[in-house]
């Protein structure tokens, strides 16, 4: 699976990009028909501590899954969005299984 990482309003360091790619690629264990994914890392210019926005869009045949989370760190945000995507992909897989029977 191809993972496109885009950082908005800042430059992401190599370690963060590698972390994001590793986490997103782990989704292939849950659903093997993923075409590619786009990850947007944004920094909101506010005084709040939770100003990091992580948005992940996953392209699968027939659908796109998009999850957006706001957190204190990008690592935490990526973990939260990947967990939400795991649940969505598992739901999709269960639905497909019920149609095949």
pLDDT in tens, 68-86: 999 999 999 999 999 999 9
Eight-class DSSP state of 13:
-
Eight-class DSSP state of 29:
G
Eight-class DSSP state of 72:
S
* pLDDT above 80 (res 101): no
CA proximity to 93, closest of 21, 9, 44, 34: 34
Reported as a single tens digit per residue, the pLDDT across 17-43 is 999 999 999 999 988 889 999 999 999
* pLDDT above 80 (res 99): no
pLDDT for residue 48:
82
CATH code assigned at 11: 3.30.160.100
Q: Measured between alpha carbons, how far is 46 from 48 in angstroms, rounded to an integer?
A: 5
Report the number of distinct structural domains present in the chain: 1
Tell whether the torsion through CA atoms of 42, 89, 25 and 38 is positive or negative: negative
Domain that holds residue 79: 2-100
Q: Write out the two tokens for 92.
A: 């999709």
* pLDDT above 80 (res 58): yes
């Amino acid at each position: 699976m191809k993972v496109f990482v885009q950082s908005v309003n800042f430059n992401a360091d190599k370690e963060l990009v590698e972390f994001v790619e590793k986490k997103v690629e782990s989704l292939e264990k849950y659903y093997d028909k993923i075409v590619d994914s786009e990850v947007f890392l944004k920094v909101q210019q506010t005084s709040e501590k939770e100003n990091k926005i992580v948005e992940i869009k996953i392209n699968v045949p027939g659908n796109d899954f998009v999850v957006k989370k706001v957190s204190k760190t990008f690592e935490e945000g990526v973990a939260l969005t990947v967990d939400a995507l795991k649940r969505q992909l598992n739901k999709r897989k269960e639905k497909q299984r019920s149609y095949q029977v």
